[in-house]
Amino acid sequence: MTTRVEIINDFLAINVKPGKTIQDIVEASGSALPFGCRDGECGTCVVMIESGMEFLSEVTAKEVTVLKTVGEPSPKARLACQMKIVHPNGLVRIKY
Ligand code: FES
């Protein structure tokens, strides 16, 4: 029972089990998606979820604060270092 994660910019796709963080997936896949603090503080890892938001963990208060600070109002915006896959049998498409 996995969910497929596609990182559009890098033409990468990986099937992962729920519980994996997007940071884990990016690091394992060789994606060039940049990270800074890895703790939801700096905003370096802002990504757009093109589809599959429902397969990800809920947006945290920390994410809301940082996304406002970096001026990213899109409802598709998330912090890659703060998200986890929480449901199987889905497709999550990420753009950065
Ligand atoms: S790496 Fe700093 S907020 Fe994600």
Cα 96 to Cα 19, 71, 73: the distances in Å are 22, 15, 15
Rounded to whole angstroms, the Cα distance separating 69 from 3 reads 31
Instruction: Indicate if ligand 1 lies below 6 Å from the C-beta of 47.
Output: no
Q: For 5-24, what is each residue's pLDDT tens digit? A: 999 999 999 999 999 999 98
Q: Which amino acid is at 44?
A: T
Ligand 1 centroid to residue 56 C-alpha, Å: 17
Domain at 8, CATH number = 3.10.20.30
Burial (CB count within 10 angstroms: exposed 0-12, middle 13-18, buried 19+), residue 86: middle
- Both tokens of residue 37? 């603090």
Print the domain residue range for 58.
Answer: 3-95
Number of domains in the chain: 1
Instruction: Indicate if ligand 1 lies below 6 Å from the C-beta of 35.
Output: yes
pLDDT band, very low/low/confident/very high, at 28 (cuts 50, 70, 90): confident
pTM of the model: 0.94
